[in-house]
Structure 1
Amino acid sequence: MRLWYPKDSGFELIAFSDADHAGCIDNRKSTSEGIQFLGDKLVSWILKKQDYTAMSSTEAEYVALSVSCAQVMWMRIQLKDYGFKYNKVPLYCDS
């Protein structure tokens, strides 16, 4: 499997993050979600139940942002090996 990028496509790295506060009905834990795009192609995603019970939706979103940030940092290191350089990567959150 490979990604195909036409010559005129961009290589901007963009990330999005979200969380559902107390989404699990059994233990009231939240779920972190994050996706990363390279240009217009989805290159990475994560969906992970948070390790502890967040007391607010803001706290759940903050934890989700930190998970997405770790993914973005890993992606930057991988892309650096291919000659790409990203000083700033936009990370969007819905709250």
Structure 2
Amino acid sequence: MKKYDAIVIGTGSAMIIVQGLLSMNPDSRIAVIDKYRPRGICLTRGCIPSKMVISVAEIIADIEKTRELGVDAEIKSVDFGRIMKRMS
């Protein structure tokens, strides 16, 4: 049986506790359990500017998966400069 110093359920605000534990003891064994992959909060995904880039990447990934659902969608181009400009 594995032993942990802390078990955190969810990747929401409890990640502040994880950060505190790790800063006090970097060798802490912490299990983080979440139903989904971490997303949508500053502590696990980066702050707002990072989210602006990540959200576009997620949309692109979703569009690429539409063929499995019977939708033939195409991404003609990605203006990365424009995406980056939104962050400023």
TM-score for both structures, normalised by structure 2: 0.32
Q: TM-score, normalised by structure 1?
A: 0.30
More helix by share: 2
Work out which of the two has the higher radius of gyration on C-alpha atoms and give 1 or 2.
2
| Higher share in strand | 1
Question: Which protein, 1 or 2, shows the higher relative CO under an 8 Å CA cutoff with sep ≥ 6?
Answer: 1
